Structure 1
Amino acid sequence: MSTIQEVSRRSGLPEPTLRYYEKIGLIGPVDRDESSGHRRYPPELVETIEALGCLRSTGMSLADMRVYLRHLDGGDPAEQRDLFARNVERLDAEIERLRVRRDYLRLKAELWDARDRRDAAAEERAVDEIRGLLPRLK
C-alpha cells in the first residue's frame, strides 16, 4: 500500500489532483488507514494512476481519460485506438499552432534585426513574410 505522497511522486500528479480524481470518480474510492485516516493506495490502483499521469501530461481531457479507463479491461480495442488517434491529431494541431507562433516570433526578431542594421531589403522581406503568416496565426 502506498501513501498519497508516494503516489504523487510516482505518478507526477499533485496530491490535490489525486484527491480531485477520487472526488469525481475517475479513480475509485481509496481505502483509508484505520488509525490515521490517511489514504492507502493498492499497487493496481497506483499503476492506473501512473497511466493517468502519463495521459494528463499529454493534455488528454478527463472525458477521454474516462473512456480510456472504461475500455481498459476487455473493452473494444478499436475504441482505444480511436481515442489515441484523436489525441494524436489534437497534439499535431497544437504543434502546428506552436510552429506558427514560433515562426512569427522568429520573423519579428529578424525584422528588428534588419531595422537595427538599417537593412531596408531585409526589413521588407521580414514584413512580407509576417503578412503571409498572419492568417495562420489567428
Structure 2
Amino acid sequence: MGIAETADEQLSIGEVAERTGLSVHALRFYEREGLLVGRVRRTSGGRRRYTPFDVDWLLICVKLRESGMPLADLKQFAELVRQGPGNEAERLELLDVHRQRVDAQIRALEECRSVIAWKVGVYAEHLARGEAGGLWDPTA
C-alpha cells in the first residue's frame, strides 16, 4: 500500500511512534523544531494526527539523525523540502556533504574493526597454543 492509496489515513502520535521507533516525546520535539515537512493536524480535541507521508518523512529523518546528520542540517533540509520544487541542488548538496561524512565514519570504523580483528586473532592464537600468559600484562 503506497502513500497515494493511504493519503487520507490519519494516525495518532502513538501509532507514529510505533511505526518510526521514535518516542512520543521525540515526535513532539521534531514538530517543535520544525523538522516535519507537513503541518501536523489536530483533532477537535487537540490530539495530533499524522499521515503516512509524515511517517515516511520521519523514517528518513531517523536515518539521517542516526547517521550523525547535525540537527541544523536536518532543519535546513526540512525547510528546503517544505519550500517545494526549485531547490533540489541545495538539497543534493546537503545530502552529499552528509554522505561524505558518513563515508569517512565508515572508513574509520573499518580501520578500527581491522585492528580489533587482528587483536582477536592474536589472543585466539595464543589461547589455542596455551600461551596466553603475559599478553599485555602490566605487571610484567
Identity of aligned residues (%): 34
Alpha-carbon spacing, 1:111–1:49, altered in 2? closer, same or farther (3 Å): closer
Gaps of 5+ in 1: 120-138
CA distance in 1, matches of 2:88, 2:42: 34
TM-score by length of 2: 0.68
Return the letter of the residue paired with 1:23.
R
Return the letter of the residue paired with 1:41.
Y
- Report the counterpart of residue 44 of structure 2 in structure 1: 34
Q: 1:97: Cα distance to partner?
A: 1.4
CA distance in 2, matches of 1:40, 1:22: 12
CA distance in 2, matches of 1:45, 1:112: 49
Preserved contact between residue 40 and residue 49 of structure 2 (Cα < 8 Å) = yes
| Structure 1 segment 11-30 matched on structure 2, within 5 A | 11-27=20-36, 30=40
CA RMSD of aligned residues (A): 2.5
Q: Name the one with the larger helix percent.
A: 1
Q: Secondary structure at the match of 1:106?
A: helix
Q: 1:90: Cα distance to partner?
A: 0.9
Structure of greater relative contact order (alpha carbons < 8 Å, 6+ residues apart):
2
TM-score by length of 1: 0.69
CA distance in 1, matches of 2:124, 2:61: 45
Q: 1:19: Cα distance to partner?
A: 0.8
Structure 2 residue 58 is the aligned partner of structure 1 residue 49: yes
CA distance in 2, matches of 1:7, 1:94: 30
Return the letter of the residue paired with 1:86.
V
Gaps of 5+ in 2: 1-9, 132-140
